[in-house]
Structure 1
């Protein structure tokens, strides 16, 4: 029996051969995409007139994908349904991955005539499958805009017959350059209201960075969520949901992939699914709708420092990292946490703590006065009620020290400081 996928849900693939089929009568298009989300040429678009590509084959209503045979640089395969009338049913998509089978039924579509059904994508060296079910009111034109597809224009009408008598040629209309479209990677999968809010918040982040001479800053964003037992009420009231939704805009502004690596801190620290823009609603439903229990009931800040630091030691050290750590207070090991802060000085990360619980934060409240470090690698501020803080003010506080840390940590001329004035 097939496992049913929700919109935005992703699962790891167990094999390098899979089939994706639909029971609806629609035109299917497969797009092979590079890391930048763009096709590299005509051969990356597989459809009824060109059904074969490297690692992909379209057979009527079934797409066959061999991930180990995709062209060099391919990191994503998107399956798109094109319909001639908005609102036409797209049926159920069935994905077979070795012995595993999944199903996904797109819903809530009204005016879209081109819809991304599912996508196969590479993440941290492993292939995964994601249910998407989001599309474009402007059909193939929207597809072309987002994925770099060359869509032929409609045939131009026949020109009118030449006049029998010469007439003055009309003045040509002034040439207008279309405004550039600034898209956040994956935003096309978000509901319209959330997409708009994310864009507004990203712009506020950019304003805050510009004030600090950091308009061109590129960085990695990591989120750490306190999941100790005392946070139960905060999760139940949606505080963590709204907090994570708001910091997603920071990743959208400075991370090339518009994503965050996410960790849960309790008695132990657990890394969970990366948070990408298009996954935001599903990710929040999975990890913040109620207190997640994977990390246990207690607090262990030092272990979280070690876990995140260990992850970063395997990443590109030339990319500065901002760790956003939401904590409700009640630090249980002040000395161990202080040692962890000092040990993390050489890790290319600035650790920004945000207090949410009106509680005793212990050593966290003394981070700004903690001497004996080559660079100040930590910051802390507490909010009685984060929902009462305007977005612009929140980003001002979160980003107040990060650009300065980048300048202090990396030597002059280093690529990491290239975007800093």
Structure 2
């Protein structure tokens, strides 16, 4: 089965797969170009917690003996084999990458590489389960996150990503919580040997990814205020307590940092009540969810959903308390069906400089949100909906691409109707 970019596939569900091999292949006409495949073993925080959890030819076996890297003498260039039942319980996700050694320094880039693929093979039987061909959209990037193997409901799934990064190995190590202290000319094994846990967050790398997305969407130079509305109904308890919501806040903060002159993200939470929270910035986002939400007894938590009151407060903030024609981007996180009266709120706010990007997470029906694009009676189409089964499994680049997909067309329509200034 050939996978498409962004597609998720069941690896173990319905199959007897004890040992899985990922075989990587590529072609290049430049014999001087050195390309390497590697694997990052990540915790449920999305971080590589120890140096030994970075698996590549300089560190070919992990501490549990579950993973093994190998160079191959065939069409497949390298492989990573995983004995699934040997993986440490803390291994929530495995991220697989391909990098060009010293790409920026030597002037090598992914545009010089062709035929990039990964094959997922049942290592016990030799059966090829999936094949993912990627890289046709890459140019100056020097690293690729090929895909992720992650746990979901007790089974393993594969997410076909194929997202390019600038900065090569160092950028990926930073992204996954490792910091390279060696000079840029150091060999990969030397760099990995001196890797230490990064004291800083991945916010800087995420801002770079947002910037790349803005360039793709022709949004560079656009100024906007950014807010996030977080569902805090009963079904969201696990996501609040396991760090997923904190991670969402950090990921959206990167968007605010690139759009907002003040680099500030406005925050609301709601169930059948709502709370407007202190805005978050790069200076104080660490542990924001615990400090400002979970540890605050004044905030109503884990009730039923009622969206219109919080939406009306969002409108009130941007049109009455702090009015401006500067566009507003609201990321609205919801894990279940919204109430139908949101249609009335959306219609009334279609004359305001506010765009609502709804994000449905989980496996609810989202009947109302799915019909947003066909809603009538609005001056402009001021809302969009994307559905993500497991937001924690979606790469930053894929998330930003989807969140900002409809925003440019709304900007054009809002300018045409003089809702926002040109």
Per the normalisation by structure 2, the TM-score is 0.50
Q: Highest CA radius of gyration, 1 or 2? A: 1
Using structure 1 for the length normalisation, give the TM-score.
Answer: 0.50
